[in-house]
Amino acid sequence: RNLISQEDFNFHFKNLRYAKGRRNTFLCYEVTRKDCNSPVSLCHGVFENKGIIHAEICFLYWFHDKVLKVLSPREEFKVTWYMSWSPCFKCAEQVVRFLATHHNLSLAIFISRLYDIWNTDTQQKLCRLVQEGAQVAAMDLPEFKKCWKKFVDNDGQRFRPWKRLRTHFRYQNSKLQEIL
Query: Domain 6-13+25-179 belongs to what architecture?
Result: 3-Layer(aba) Sandwich (3.40)
pTM above 0.85, yes or no: yes
CA distance 155 to 12: 19
Cα torsion angle, 115, 116, 122, 123, sign:
positive
Q: What is the pLDDT of residue 67?
A: 81
Three-state secondary structure call for residue 108: strand
Per-residue model confidence (pLDDT) at position 76: 86
Q: Which residues contact 4 (CB under 8 A, 6 or more apart)?
A: 12, 26, 28, 46, 151, 152, 153
Give the pLDDT score at 1: 65
Task: Look at residue 89 in the predicted model and tell me its pLDDT.
Answer: 92
Reply yes or no on whether 75 is catalytic: no
Rounded percentage of the chain residues whose pLDDT exceeds 70: 99
Burial class (CB in 10 A: 0-12, 13-18, 19+), 177: exposed
CA distances from residue 121 to 49, 91, 155 in whole angstroms, order as listed: 21, 11, 41
d(CA 45, CA 31): 9
Catalytically annotated residue among 7, 30, 48, 56: 56
- Asked if residues 8 and 155 have their Cβ atoms less than 8 Å apart, the reply is no
What is the per-residue pLDDT for 36? 63
Low-confidence ranges of the chain (pLDDT < 50): none
